[in-house]
């Protein structure tokens, strides 16, 4: 059966007021259920902990030092999982929190443990939700972006498809927010070639890695024969519509 990793970006999981977008999760849960009912296995990688932390403890939002950032992630991670747990529960789905670091992917015994835990969760029909374990990571040793966390997860698990949900329809030849005539690139055969031929603008206000890390993720997974799709997360029913060809995105083959 098909193994799918779905990465949910900060801009997708957050509302405009900086709180967790429950409507998005309400739309996501039945789609995941439907994928699982049709025999597919799904792992989620979700951003949003830090923003959820800021909206919970508003008064800390302006502190920029690393320990405050880590504290905000620790607070927000609970809020994030609470939202997933409640809403996925309404669809009869159990979730599991998996917090990982870069070092976890570099150790043979750890990757074996991660793999065994993921396989067990999936065998039991539970949806693993992965995020970076910010508490134990300083900037220098972080994977740094969940686009790459999702790519590493797909690599470790032997995923068939990686779906990166962002706030744009896909990758354009130039930044669509800064250029009205930007053209969507629907199919990419070579991420290295793509990188040379497009211009990359600024990230969204909540985003971290921007388009560059999405292309980097494609460089990691495509050599394994894993496809990657970048698509607009807030578009209702996006995952199922993509699979039926009803919605567009950027597909890396």
Sorted by sequence, the CB contacts under 8 Å of residue 13 that are 6+ apart come out as 20, 21, 24, 25, 46, 47, 48, 51, 80, 233
In the list 74, 78, 156, 200, the residue contacting ligand ADP (rule: CB under 6 A) is 200
Report the site for ligand ADP in 160-179 (rule: CB under 6 A).
Answer: 166-168, 171-172, 174-177
C-alpha to C-alpha distance for 72 and 227, rounded to whole angstroms: 34
C-alpha to C-alpha distance for 197 and 119, rounded to whole angstroms: 39
Comparing every residue's Cβ against ligand ADP, the nearest one is 207
In the list 203, 222, 226, 243, the residue contacting ligand ADP (rule: CB under 6 A) is 203
Q: State which residue, 99 or 185, has the beta carbon closest to ligand ADP.
A: 185
Q: Does residue number 248 form part of the binding site for ligand ADP (CB under 6 A)? A: no
Q: State which residue, 93 or 162, has the beta carbon closest to ligand ADP.
A: 162
| Axis crossing angle, helix 22-37 with helix 66-89, rounded to the nearest 10 | 60
Q: In the bound complex, what is the minimum distance in angstroms from residue 47's beta carbon to ligand ADP?
A: 6
Count the site residues for ligand ADP by CB under 6 A. 24
Give the max Cα distance, the chain.
50
Q: What strands lie across the sheet with 41-46, from one edge to the other?
A: 95-100, 127-132, 41-46, 3-8, 161-166, 227-232, 250-252, 187-188
Q: Cβ distance 194 to 188 under 8 Å?
A: yes
Q: Does residue number 14 form part of the binding site for ligand ADP (CB under 6 A)? A: no
In the list 28, 43, 211, 238, the residue contacting ligand ADP (rule: CB under 6 A) is 211
Q: In the bound complex, what is the minimum distance in angstroms from residue 230's beta carbon to ligand ADP?
A: 8
C-alpha to C-alpha distance for 20 and 191, rounded to whole angstroms: 32
Phi and psi angles of residue 93, each rounded to the nearest 5 degrees, phi first:
-105, 135
In the list 4, 9, 41, 152, the residue contacting ligand ADP (rule: CB under 6 A) is 9
In the list 210, 234, 237, 248, the residue contacting ligand ADP (rule: CB under 6 A) is 210
Binding site for ligand ADP (CB under 6 A): 9-12, 166-168, 171-172, 174-177, 198, 200-201, 203-204, 206-211
């Amino acid at each position: 059966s098909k193994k799918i990793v779905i990465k949910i970006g900060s801009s997708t999981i957050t509302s405009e007021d900086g709180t967790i977008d429950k409507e998005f999760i309400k739309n996501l849960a039945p789609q995941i259920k439907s994928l699982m009912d049709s025999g597919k296995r799904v792992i989620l990688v979700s951003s949003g902990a830090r923003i959820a932390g800021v909206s919970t403890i508003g008064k800390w939002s302006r502190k920029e030092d690393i320990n405050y950032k880590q504290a905000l992630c620790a607070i927000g991670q609970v809020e994030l999982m609470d939202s997933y747990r409640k809403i996925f529960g309404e669809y009869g789905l159990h979730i599991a929190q998996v917090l990982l670091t870069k070092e976890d992917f570099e150790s043979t015994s750890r990757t074996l443990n991660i793999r065994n835990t993921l396989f067990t969760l999936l065998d039991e029909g539970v949806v693993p939700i992965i995020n970076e374990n910010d508490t134990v990571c300083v900037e220098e040793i972080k994977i740094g972006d969940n686009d790459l966390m999702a790519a590493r997860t797909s690599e470790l698990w032997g995923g068939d498809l990686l779906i990166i949900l962002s706030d744009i329809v896909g990758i354009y030849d130039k930044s669509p927010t800064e250029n009205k005539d930007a053209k969507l690139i629907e199919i990419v055969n070579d991420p290295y070639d793509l990188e040379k031929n497009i211009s990359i603008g600024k990230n969204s206000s909540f985003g971290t890695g921007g388009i560059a890390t999405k292309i980097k993720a494609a460089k990691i997974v495509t050599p394994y024969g894993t496809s990657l799709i970048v698509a607009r997360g807030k578009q209702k029913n996006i995952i199922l519509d993509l699979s039926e060809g009803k919605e567009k995105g950027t597909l890396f083959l």
